[in-house]
Amino acid sequence: MEEMYIFYLLTAAFLLVGPLLILLGMKSMKPPYHWKQTVGEVTEDRKMDNKGNVYPAVRFMVDDKSYEVRSKVAQNPPLRVGKRVKLSYDPEDLSDIRIHTFAQGGGLFILAGAFFTMIGFIFLKVVI
């Protein structure tokens, strides 16, 4: 009987965490409403920390002025130098950008959330 309680708890945990991860990913996909969008070019994509995380630098234009900014979000696999990418930026702080890629757009959270939710429903099917 104790095993069933553990199974119930696991089911509840998966069914709670999965949708939360999906919501987090969806929130990450959409930049704040006042941000602007543009196209930039990857100028550098190298490992920046001891964990091997890659933070790409992107050059883009705003009001005929060029800016080069390093993303605050790691990107794996790395982006190819010279690749043109869509990005969003904060017009009040041009150092704050979000490159429109699967990894930087919250796709990994959505994928993990879908996996957790699926496992939760499989457990629920077993419990019922």
Model pLDDT, residue 30 = 67
The model's pTM is: 0.66
Q: Is 98 left (phi over 0), alpha (psi -120 to 50) or beta?
A: beta
Long-range contacts of 73-79, Cβ-Cβ distance < 8 Å, separation of 24 or more:
73/98, 73/99, 73/103, 73/104, 74/103, 75/45, 75/99, 75/101, 75/103, 75/104, 76/103, 78/45, 78/46, 78/54, 79/42, 79/45
pLDDT digits (tens, 9 = 90+) for 9-65: 888 899 999 999 888 877 766 666 788 999 999 998 876 777 778 889 999 999 999
